[in-house]
Amino acid sequence: MENLQSAVDSLVQGSNTLFILLGAVMVLAMHAGFAFLEVGTVRHKNQVNALSKILSDFAVSTLAYFFIGYWLSYGTHFLHPAATLGAEHGYGLVKFFFLLTFAAAIPAIISGGIAERARFAPQLCATLLIVAFVYPFFEGIVWNGNLGVQVWLTAAFGAPFHDFAGSVVVHAMGGWLALAAVLLLGPRNGRYREGRLVAFAPSNIPFLALGSWILIVGWFGFNVMSAQTLTAVSGLVAVNSLMAMVGGTVAALLVGRNDPGFLHNGPLAGLVAICAGSDLMHPVGALVTGAVAGALFVWCFTATQNRWKIDDVLGVWPLHGLCGVWGGIACGIFGQQVFGGLGGVSFVSQLIGSAAGVLVALAGGLIVYGLIKRVHGLRLSQEQEYYGADLSIHKIGATSQD
């Protein structure tokens, strides 16, 4: 009987390890989506740089999170014998891998905002500091209960800040960090003339669409497998993710008047927004959440570029920063039982948690990028920007000129 129970326990542990490993691989694949979304949006002379940044940022993020960031968030490090690390089929290691892919999404998000004029090495330095210190600080507060903030919110407002898969912890953090970097960098040369926006057309709409689709597919690993064990997995998360994605697509299609850039970012806006409450909402609530996010992205991207003169190349602040905050707030609305949700969530806690994420990200971004700007400089020279980051940094173009 003991042997049977041991076999069952081993099967459960192995299944959980495989489950979260598949989630890690799906989210890892999303980084190809980030890459192609940026490649398709930037001008042709910056495509190689876009691809190089995403892969290099992931490598630096892995080192930063393995040696520092994960320990700051969860109090666990990996400087133990391999025999110890392999306990429970190595579930602890694979959990790190899964959460690493979330952490590495932060610099991938930032990359799209600062494209076409940021220096390469300083951005890698920023990635190291953000993934080692800034992101883990807030991640640990929300997902590990560090500093007692969640306990206080529960005592004061009846529930902790709820962010199931990272609308605020990952996406809003990435978007607001990107805003700080974009403001410190300034607009691309020639983007505004006599106060008017000059259109820089995307270089490759098929690549942009490919990036969007890769992200959409991978997002179901991002959301569903945030359960982290097979026993906790929920079909509600999958369907809510689907409905939010569709809501964002339709809203961006209508509000964006058939613009393919808006259309392919609309589903991403919906998916950003649903991360926080995907395990609590009714599918109709998820649909509304996604639709609001899709429209919000179109309106705010247009205002960012035209009215506020903020040259955020891929619109990562509207897409991740603002839609991420909306997702945190929407969780506090549509997660309530009165709107068909499962309940157990506080609207006030959602407001406070979302605002805290914005403050940490914006302050962290200004400190990290402000320091690097002062010490090393952030921006390519005017000549380098003119010839493009591909030739200036990597000494090769995206395609042969023969």
pLDDT at 8: 72
% pLDDT > 70, the chain: 98
| pLDDT tops 80 at residue 193 | yes
pLDDT band with cut points at 50, 70 and 90 for residue 261? very high
- Of 315 and 6, the structure prediction assigns the larger pLDDT to 315
CA 359 to chain centre: 17
d(CA 290, CA 244): 4
Query: Which of 174, 214, 236 minimizes the C-alpha distance to 26?
Result: 214
Q: Both tokens of residue 223?
A: 């959301």
Stretch 38-50: mean pLDDT = 97
d(CA 335, CA 1): 43
Encode pLDDT of 62-77 as tens digits: 999 999 999 999 999 8
Residue 12 three-state SS: helix
Stretch 86-110: mean pLDDT = 92
| pLDDT tops 60 at residue 402 | no
Q: Can you state the angle between helices 235-255 and 283-306, rounded to 10 degrees? A: 40
For the chain, list the domains and their CATH numbers. Answer: 8-77+86-391 (1.10.3430.10)
Cα distance from N-terminal residue to C-terminal residue, the chain: 72
Stretch 236-262: mean pLDDT = 97
| CA geometry: angle 310, 315, 320, nearest 5 deg | 120
- φ, ψ at 13 (rounded to 5°): -65, -45
| pLDDT tops 70 at residue 1 | no
Beta-bridged to residue 192, according to DSSP, are 197
- Residue 72 · residue 131 · CB < 8 Å: no
What's the burial of 325, exposed, middle or buried (CB within 10 Å: 0-12/13-18/19+)? buried
Q: What contacts 24+ positions apart, CB below 8 Å, involve 188-195?
A: 188/116, 188/117, 188/311, 188/313, 188/385, 189/117, 189/382, 189/385, 189/386, 191/311, 192/309, 192/311, 195/309
Per 3-state DSSP, the chain is made up of helix, strand and coil in percentages (nearest 5) of 75, 0, 20
pLDDT at 335: 98
DSSP assignment letter at 346: -
The amino acid sitting at 180 is A
The amino acid sitting at 388 is G
Residues in the chain: 402
Q: Where does 65-188 have alpha helices with state H?
A: 70-74, 82-85, 87-113, 120-129, 135-143, 149-157, 173-185
Least confident of 146-150, 151-155, 196-200: 196-200
Q: Can you state the angle between helices 323-334 and 260-274, rounded to 10 degrees? A: 50
| pLDDT tops 90 at residue 399 | no
- Residue 57 · residue 400 · CB < 8 Å: no
Least confident of 6-15, 58-67, 219-228, 387-396: 6-15
Prediction pTM value = 0.96
pLDDT band with cut points at 50, 70 and 90 for residue 86? low
**Kind plus residue range of the DSSP H or E element containing 193:** strand 192-193
Q: What is the mean pLDDT of the chain?
A: 95
| pLDDT tops 70 at residue 401 | no
Q: What is the DSSP string of 256-320?
A: TTT-HHHHHHHHHHHHHHHTTTTTTS-HHHHHHHHHHHHHHHHHHHHHHHHTS----TT-HIIII
| pLDDT tops 80 at residue 7 | no
Beta-bridged to residue 118, according to DSSP, are 379
CA atoms within 13 A on the CB side of 394: 18
Encode pLDDT of 369-398 as tens digits: 999 999 999 999 999 999 999 999 999 999
Encode pLDDT of 105-149 as tens digits: 999 999 999 999 999 999 999 999 999 999 999 999 999 999 999
| pLDDT tops 90 at residue 80 | no
pLDDT at 3: 78
pLDDT at 177: 98
Residue at token pair 């806690």:
349
